[in-house]
Amino acid sequence: MIARKLAILALAATVWPALAQQDPEQTTEAAPLPDGREIMRQVEEYQRATSDSAFNRMQLSTCRFGVSENRITCAERPRVKALESVSKNYGPEGLDSRGVTIVLEPADERGIGLLSYVYDDAERQNESWIYLSALGRVKRIASGNSDEESESASLFGSEFTTEDMDTGKLEQYEINVLEESTEGGREVWVIELIPNEERARETRYGRIVNYIDKERFVALRTDLYDHYGNAIKRMLSSRVELIDGVWMARSATMMNLVTNRLSNMAVLEIYTGIDVEDEVLTQRTLTDAAFRETRLQEIRDQVE
């Protein structure tokens, strides 16, 4: 874990001068904008770091929203799901990952588990299994064809989709730094991502505009546009905290600007550097209740 943190710091150290580099002849004029791709790579690197050997307690709240006295607020009592998740990075460079998420609340869904293996290799299909407690059965969710169109699924019925959670694939985007600005009182780079033709087919978004905190490399705001340039969704981050040397937004709010619904994902507790046995990230955790409880308890014990 220490090695990991060092690696990140080292990376930051190499990236930062590149970002901060200025053309000496232009010092009197406005500073040239830095390389957006490098910035985005850095942001994703931080994101990945928070999911390795990690145990989270999360809360997903969804509601219809409105504006009251200049505040964006739920216009109804939000529906809340409580989740626990364990994840770990795999592969030579830690680019693959495995994770298991268990629903604690609401009662109807208690015990539903989702196990997913994500592979960086585009040739290899991601795999996921769902355990349905009411049926007592586990089901692999798979498509029968290799050319599966990657339709992004809603995460636990929220406004977040799997696509919103994706990392990587930066090479499939044209990335431009539009300007330097401020967001929520902090200095940001406004960085635009435009999918290339290949990516455009897979994504709902025709343009993504990130407001990246210059100091913390966290997206404070993300505007998501459809293929016609209409803003359809917006994500706002709050409670940005330093977790094990990496800044992370522990409260992310995704607003659907068309349906006026928002979902907030709050990482109530996050622990990285947890010992996660490989066996925990298998189907046994889903089906074998006793095994699941024992192993999760072991992990809980590590953090409490």
Partner 1 sequence: MDNFLLGLSEFFERLPDRVLGARNFVLTGVVVISILMIWGIFTRTEMDLSTDAYLDETDPAIAALDEYRRQFGSDDSVLLVYRALDGDVFSRESLTAVQRLTDDLRNWQDLDPADYPAVIANVPVDFNELNHIRRVQSIANVRFQRNEGDTLLSLRLAPAELPESDEELARIKARALAQEDLVGMMYSANAEYGMIMIQTDFGMQPVEDYVPAVDAPDVTLDASFDFSADGFLELDFDEEAEITEVDFEPVDVFSYSAFHVATTAIWEQYEDRLEYYPVGAPPTMAFMLQTVNQLYVLGILMVLIFVMLLWILFRSFSAVLWPILTIALSVAWTWGVTVWLGITVSTFISLTVLLIFAVGIADCVHVMNAYFSYRREGEEHYRAISRSFGRTGLALLVTTLTTSAGVLALTTSELLPMQVFGFMSAAGVVLAFFFTVILLPILLDIWHPGFPGHEKLSIPDRLARVWNGFRRNRKIALIAIYAVLLYAGLGFGVGSYILFISFLTYAVVNWHQQILQAVPYIVARRPWQIVAVFAGIFGICVYGATRVEIDTNISELVKEDHPLRQAYEVVDENMAGSQSMVIVIDTRVDEGMLDPRVLQAVDDLETRILESQGEHLTRTYSLVNVVKDTNEVMNDGDPDFYRVPETRQMVSQLLYLFNSANPEDRRALVSDDYSKAQVTLNIRNSSTNEYQGFFDEIGDEIEASFAHLRDDFPELEINLTGSMALLWRMSDEISRSQVESFAIALSVISVMLIVTLGSLQGGLIAMVPNLIPAFLGFGLMGLAGIPLDADTLLVAPVIIGIAVDDTIHFMTHYRVQLIKTGSISESLRLTISHVGQAVMFTTMVLGLGFMLLSFSDYLGMARMGFFGSLAIVMALACDLFLIPALIMIFKPTFGIKNADKRISFLESPA
- Told to check if 147 binds partner 1 by CB under 8 A, we report yes
CB of 184 to partner 1, least distance (A): 8
Q: Among 65, 173, 189, 225, which residue sits at the site for partner 1 (rule: CB under 8 A)?
A: 65
Query: Which residues in 208-227 contact partner 1 (CB under 8 A)?
Result: 227
**Three state DSSP letters for 209-265:** EEEEECCCCCEEEEEEECCCCCEEEEEEEEEEEEECCEEEEEEEEEEECCCCEEEEE
Bond prior to 32 in cis (omega within 30° of 0):
no
Q: Closest Cα to residue 167, out of 252, 40, 78?
A: 40
CB of 13 to partner 1, least distance (A): 31
- Told to check if 75 binds partner 1 by CB under 8 A, we report yes
- Told to check if 12 binds partner 1 by CB under 8 A, we report no
Mask of contacts with partner 1, 19-58, x by CB under 8 A?
--------------------------------------x-
Q: What span, in angstroms and rounded, lies between the C-alpha atoms of 91 and 8?
A: 18
Q: Closest Cα to residue 80, out of 56, 55, 104?
A: 104
Pair 103, 110: CB distance under 8 Å? yes
Q: What span, in angstroms and rounded, lies between the C-alpha atoms of 93 and 260?
A: 40
State the distance between the two ends of the chain, measured CA to CA, in whole angstroms: 19
Helices (H), 58-133: none
CB of 57 to partner 1, least distance (A): 7
Query: Which residues in 152-181 contact partner 1 (CB under 8 A)?
Result: 152-154, 157-159
Q: What span, in angstroms and rounded, lies between the C-alpha atoms of 62 and 222?
A: 18
Q: Among 6, 10, 14, 66, which residue sits at the site for partner 1 (rule: CB under 8 A)?
A: 66
- Told to check if 74 binds partner 1 by CB under 8 A, we report yes
- Return the number of the residue (50 or 59) whose C-beta is nearest partner 1: 59
CB of 14 to partner 1, least distance (A): 33
Q: Among 13, 77, 92, 278, which residue sits at the site for partner 1 (rule: CB under 8 A)?
A: 77
Q: What span, in angstroms and rounded, lies between the C-alpha atoms of 5 and 207?
A: 32
Give the interface size with partner 1 as a residue count (CB under 8 A): 76
CB of 27 to partner 1, least distance (A): 33
- Told to check if 182 binds partner 1 by CB under 8 A, we report no
Q: Among 25, 30, 70, 123, which residue sits at the site for partner 1 (rule: CB under 8 A)?
A: 70
Query: Which residues in 245-304 contact partner 1 (CB under 8 A)?
Result: 250-251, 253, 255, 257-261, 264, 266, 268-269, 283
